[in-house]
């Protein structure tokens, strides 16, 4: 499936202008190879502003947010989970 087909299928349950390949000002770089779908669902349910994710040029996932407060709430809730699942500790 081409990237446009993937993008359309993967973003189908997200608010408009949110989801994969949506990049906003506030960024949370993540460890590992992907973004957990539960954390994306959490963003869809709890964020009132726009959000998204993409992969950096080094193939690392990055969550992005239009609102700095929502970025902080998401990071507090999910960043530790991403680290734990990928065996990373700081």
Q: Is residue 7 part of a domain?
A: no
Instruction: Note down the domain range covering 22.
Output: 17-85
Q: Is residue 27 part of a domain?
A: yes
Q: Is residue 35 part of a domain?
A: yes
Give me the pLDDT at residue 79, please. Answer: 74
Walk along the chain (90 residues) and give the pLDDT tens digit of each residue: 334 444 445 556 788 899 999 999 999 998 778 888 888 989 999 999 999 999 999 899 999 999 999 999 999 888 777 666 665 554
Q: Is residue 69 part of a domain?
A: yes
pTM over 0.85: no
The dihedral sign for the CA sequence 52, 58, 60, 62: negative
Contact 14, 49 (CB under 8 A): no
Q: How many separate domains does the chain show?
A: 1
């Amino acid at each position: 499936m081409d990237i446009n087909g993937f993008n359309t299928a993967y973003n189908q349950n997200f608010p408009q202008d949110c989801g994969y390949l949506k990049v906003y000002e506030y960024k949370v770089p993540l460890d590992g190879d992907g973004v957990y779908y539960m954390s994306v669902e959490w963003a869809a349910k709890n964020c009132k502003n726009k959000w998204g994710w993409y992969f950096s040029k080094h193939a690392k996932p990055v969550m992005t947010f239009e609102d700095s407060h929502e970025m902080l709430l998401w990071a507090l809730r999910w960043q530790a989970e991403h680290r734990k699942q990928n065996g990373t500790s700081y």
